[in-house]
Structure 1
């Protein structure tokens, strides 16, 4: 069992190191919203957005933080709901 744990930890560490090398190639991370907006403008130059954002985060890091927080809360809610449903005793 201990040997298996060491193997899994080594595998995780290797994946982290490989992902750091892949991510440091100088590529810029862009969201799907930006890409699709560029494509729409390319197809139809007269495109006007339906609405604009009420508030835009001051930086990309804040936007990523809010997205991760939203994903975490959603995962928590789903896990809580599934856990409660699994432990309900039927009469």
Structure 2
């Protein structure tokens, strides 16, 4: 195997370990997101607090909410990757044009 293949295998194993270790170590199952934890803290410190607005859409279950969040993250990553790819391509085309013009 080449060095590049070994690096890829090690990186994939590290990502799998990042996901598997919390499951194997028995991470708490009552995990809550930061939004709900912040809401609990605000309500505990100020019981008279009234939110400024209500959500426009409330998913039926936490699984749907997690799926929508993952979809949002994937779309954002796709847009970011596309923009960075376009910028890199623009830079490499400009560099190729500068070297062709100097010949």
Normalised by the shorter chain, which TM-score bucket? 0.7 to 0.9
State how far apart, in whole Å, the 1-side matches of 2:12 and 2:32 are: 31
In the superposition, relative to structure 1, how do residues 83 and 54 fare at CA in structure 2: closer, same or farther (>3 Å)? same
| Shift of residue 25, structure 1, vs aligned partner | 4.3
List runs of 5+ in structure 2 lacking aligned partners.
Answer: 98-103
Q: 1:31 aligned to 2:71?
A: no
CA RMSD of aligned residues (A): 2.7
Q: Which residue of 20, 24, 27 corresponds with 1:21?
A: 24
User: Could you give the per-residue CA deviations for residues 37-66 of structure 1, whole angstroms, max 9, x where no partner exists?
Assistant: 111111111100001112210100000000
Gaps of 5+ in 1: none
Q: Residue 40 and residue 13 in structure 1: after superposition, are their counterparts in 2 closer, same or farther (change >3 A)?
A: closer
- The residue that corresponds to 2:68 in the other structure is 66
Q: How many residues align?
A: 90
SS of residue matched to 2:84: helix
Matched, 1:11 2:47: no
Name whichever structure is richer in helix by fraction.
Answer: 2
Give the TM-score taking structure 2 as reference length. Answer: 0.71
If you compute each CA radius of gyration, which structure gives the higher value, 1 or 2? 2
List 4+ stretches of structure 1 deviating above 3 A: 9-14
Q: 1:66 to 1:47 in 2, by over 3 A?
A: same
CA distance in structure 2 between the partners assigned to 1:5 and 1:85 by the alignment: 27
Q: What TM-score, normalized to structure 1?
A: 0.79
